[in-house]
Chains A and B, each alone.
Chain A
Amino acid sequence: MSTIDHISYVQPKSGIGAARLTGAGLLVLLGGFATIGPVVIPVDPSAQDFGASLAPVGSDYLLGTDHYGRSLLARLAHGARLSFGMAFLTTLAAAMPGVLLGLLAAWRGGWAEKGLELMATVVLALPGLMLVLLLLAFSPGDYGPLFLGLALTLWVEFYRVTKATTKTVLSQPHIEAARMLGFGSRYILTRYVLPVIGPMIATLAAFAMATAIIAVSTLSAISVGLQPPTPELGSMIVELLPYFAEAPVQVLLPAGLIFLLVLGLQLLAQGERA
């Protein structure tokens, strides 16, 4: 789940490159599909129509149907909304405490920092997915442990980057100068610290969302995450796989959707340095 991608972390270049623009465009399209799709498409994603089982693309159903005759367009739209929603919520739940605790550790140092470092070390001792799997063992198939596990593993990266960057910023002479001029902590925070860590947090958030999307779909594909009939992209792929010979497109559609979601987020995050 990892956070492998941001090892060679540098502050993203300002300005928008072609890769980043492509990523943003992809995300706008997919985000539109995920938010508007479920509202506009009148079909229930779990309504079955056995007369039209595995209908091909372009028949009565625009993107065909699955083996139960459920509209794939509706299921993809709901699946995209689920993936986006889970990714957004877990990232938010990871970034908020991560950034705040990082600022606290950098600002205060001392025992607060030591305690937080210990917590981060404990979380990082195991690979992230293992932690999520362990929590999922409490109630396989539920949103709760999945959400909690992902947020628990993802906050560390936000915490560490915020802490390290804030520390460097705070140790610089212009901060000391600002302090001596009598500017308060709040001014220093909003004027000097936030502009530096802001873009980094945005990049990390895009990575975290990509990680969450992959994790959610992977876990339901290996049948410990969200269970069918939830229209989840990973479980859709696995459900449809036995029918690959008859309906290859139906298997490839959700797979392609996950790929595009992750690709969009990674391109947006990394831009030219991908």
Chain B
Amino acid sequence: MKNFFLSRLLQASIVAVVVGAVCFALMRALPGDAAMRIAAGRYGPDARIADAAEKVRLELGLDRPIAAQFLEWIGSLLRLDLGHSLVTGRAVAHELQVQLGASVWLAATALLISLLIGPLVGLISGLKPGGAADRSGLAGAVVFRAIPPFVLGLILMLIFSRQLGWLPPAGFGSPREILLPALTLALGLAAMSSRVTRNAVAAVARAPYFAFARYKGLPEAVVVRRHGLRNAAIPVVSYLGLQAIYLVEGVVVVESLFAYPGIGHALVHAIVERDVPMVQGTALVMGLMFVAINATIDLLTFWLDPRTRRTA
């Protein structure tokens, strides 16, 4: 148990250091003199800008060696002091709060929809391997996995907003706007989880304890519920950890596509505008979101599978 938390904590700090280091390098790679830029931002570009820049350089320690500046950069990152956006001038932390909420809603909705589709399809396929349901489930999974998320999003947009006119193609505010981006992510996630579920269910259905439950006369529904679901859920839940990658990456893509004002959208914008503090803030939060999802999945596996408790 402690090991789980320690390794996730380690992962979180690696995320912070990697993001911080890349953004520090990014800041230095920006053209021009940093002190001059900051001075111009603070006092406006006027005749005495060179003096002002010199003062800023001394004040912020921009004349110190790179290593010292780097340590301070990482230090302020670890104190969660994310600085101010170069574009809007507002505190990065403040902007992130709003966007994080939107992204978490999107990710949660997507995960929920995928959990409604994927495991159900997988369960039906796995109970009769090789049957009609299994074959069409396989075909569906192969097709949906080969469509990149942005193409899938466009197709859904064309069907549901253009042809049928049921859902808005973009925007934010009501639950209606969250549906299409969430469905895009959910279909991709379900395409993968349905096959994992199918294999897990098929493995459980072949297991001796499953046959025994039948022989002792339990009704089929009880056999599946009591002896099937929890055992089959173990690989499915641990597979969710890998799906977290798809989810976090997908959030970036789908938010940009549907103009959904979440963190992924902000990250892409910040990259285009070269707003380094925002790049750092958004990348950090998305990375930590990834770690948090993984930690939750660790906990779930721990609860589902008592065997992990003995070894941990």
- Interface residues of chain A, those whose CB is within 8 Å of chain B, are 1-5, 7-8, 121-122, 125-131, 133-138, 140, 210, 214, 217-218, 221-224, 234, 237, 241, 244, 251, 255, 258-259, 262-263, 266-267, 274
Contacts and interface: CB of A to CB of B under 8 A. Distances in A.
B300 interface: no
Interface string B270-312: 1110101001000100110011000000000000000000000
A3 B245 CA distance: 9
Interface in B98-145: 138, 141-143, 145
B164 interface: no
B257 interface: yes
B251 to A, nearest CB: 10
Interface residues of B, number: 54
Contacts of B26: 134, 137-138
B148 A217 contact: yes
Given A128-B249, A224-B272, A259 B146 contact: yes
B147 A259 contact: yes
Contacts of A133: 252, 267-268, 271, 283
Contact of A126 (B267, B274, B287): B287
B212 interface: no
B42 interface: no
B29 interface: yes
Nearest to A129: B249
A88 to B, nearest CB: 18
Interface in B227-250: 239, 242-246, 248-249
Contacts of A127: 244-245, 248-249, 286-287, 290
B19 A137 contact: no
B257 A222 contact: yes
Nearest to A245: B162
A2 B256 CA distance: 19
Given A133-B271, A222-B268, A8 B149 contact: no
B257 A7 contact: no
Contacts of A255: 151, 154-155
B154 A241 contact: yes
B58 to A, nearest CB: 29
A4 B192 contact: yes
A274 B141 contact: yes
Interface in B176-210: 192, 195-196, 199
9 contacts: A1-B245, A2-B242, A2-B249, A7-B242, A222-B268, A223-B268, A251-B154, A255-B151, A255-B154
Given A1-B249, A259-B146, A259-B151, A121 B14 contact: yes
Contact of B18 (A125, A210, A237): A125
B249 A274 contact: no
A122 B25 CA distance: 17
